[in-house]
Amino acid sequence: MNVLVTGGAGFIGSHVADAFVERGDTVVILDNLSAGSMENVNPKAKFVEGDITDAGLVRRLFREHRFEIVNHHAAQLDVRKSVADPVFDCTQNIIGTLTLLEAAREQGGVKLFMQASTGGAVYGEQDYFPADEQHPTRPISQYGVAKRSIELYLGCYQALYGFEYVAFRYTNVYGPRQSPHGEAGVIAIFTEKLLCGEDVVINGDGSQTRDYVYVGDLVRAHMLALEQLNGSDIFNISTAIETDVNQIFAVLSDLTTEGHAKATYGLAKAGEQQRSVCSYDHAREMLGWKPEVDLQDGLRKTVDFFRGKRG
């Protein structure tokens, strides 16, 4: 199939693009390289540097390539930046996605629109743990509001124009290729600093929990959706296991012997939840998916990747 992967030079998008290439699909990657890197781009894919908000470019790509699958990972990913600059967040996440949806509508023939959404940020502070897809959505950041809005737009476009969609509500994704800069999660940031022997800063008291899912498990969910999905749906992609930041630091400290760094504690950040963990029962039932890489193994793979990059 002809596949568009937006954000395909980034951490998650590049792994998904690789899987499409391995499947034998014809892959076009659209990325503005604001967070991605050409090092991540699969050489068998066609790379186009550009922004998803550029309607002229997006329409041209759809006309030229007649995409059958759109896999949408390009986004403003930083919760804190969304709080500081909500207009920018809205432009990149909502307007950018609408630009893709409109191009897909005009082209016709798109069989599936695959959307990278978010678990924790969409649900907000949870009523119960782990949250399933029926949990109320009460985002407490503009980023979460944008991602939930996109899911509603997908439902609208499916009803009006008939092309199917799947939205994956990722929890905290980690693994090789994650940048330790910009919107990166604590695992990439901590790993880079620990390998350099630098102290790390933990926001708040470190008791805040997240549900950490390995990037390779996430990629399998995308491929299974292509095979198993019948109609449109929303899935948590998660582990249903809570891990606090202090635990993450402790494990990474054990895995990195290059220095003797320690953790210091700073202020908690606006818009961030205290607890976040999601159920993957729906994905298991409908897609036959479950996480296979446990946190210890995933962290070891991640540390090995960062250590390898340092030579």
Residue 184 CA to residue 37 CA, distance in Å, equals 14
In 132-199, DSSP assigns E strands to 164-170, 172-174
Q: Which residues, in sequence order, are CB contacts of 118 under 8 Å at separation 6+?
A: 143, 144, 147, 169, 170
Residue 128 CA to residue 135 CA, distance in Å, equals 8
Cα radius of gyration (the chain): 19
Q: Taking a C-beta distance cutoff of 8 angstroms, is the pair 248, 303 a contact?
A: no
Our answer to whether residue 143 is catalytic in this structure is yes
Marked catalytic residue, from 123, 143, 174, 212: 143
Q: Write the burial class of residue 181 (CB in 10 Å: 0-12 exposed, 13-18 middle, 19+ buried).
A: exposed
Tokens standing for 48? Answer: 């186009």
Nearest to 231 by CA among 136, 163, 132, 135: 163
Active-site residues: which are they?
A: 143
